[in-house]
Structure formats: C-alpha cells, structure tokens
Amino acid sequence: MICPRCGFDNLPGQNECRRCLCDLTALDRPEPHDRVESSLMQDTVDQLRPGPPVTVPLGTSVAQAVQILIDK
C-alpha cells in the first residue's frame, strides 16, 4: 500500500505508514465489484429477515444438527 503522504510502499494491511506514520486505515477498505458484493458489505442482518434461532439439545451430533437445520 503506497502512502499518499510520502510515497513509501507499505505492506498491505498496515494501519500506518512505516516511514511517516500517516494513517492508512481509510485506504485499506475493500470496494465492491458488483451489486452482490455491495449488498454483502452494506446490508444489515435485519434486512435478511432471519427467523428464530434453531437450537439442539446438548449431545446432538453435528450430522443431526445439520439435518435439523436443513429440515427447518
């Protein structure tokens, strides 16, 4: 990631420039490439209209829990 202040080539994901300590966090935000990615990045969980949580008894196997989720 190139620092806009000093031009230093920092490692991707750096929060600040290693040379001049400029804040780089705003530069490391992914941009959506299509409407699906945009929706995934901006929509809230409430917009998914989730149903009530599904619970299983303690001791339920993973296979049984998956089947319960599929059935629901």
State pTM to two decimals: 0.42
Q: Which amino acid is at 68?
A: I
- Domain boundaries along the sequence of the chain: 1-72
Residue-wise pLDDT for 3-60, tens only, equals: 999 999 999 889 999 999 999 998 877 788 999 999 988 999 889 888 899 999 999 9
Q: How many CB atoms lie within 10 A of CB 49?
A: 6
Average pLDDT of the segment spanning 64-72: 94
Cα 60 from Cα 63, distance rounded (Å): 8
- Three-state DSSP at 16 gives strand
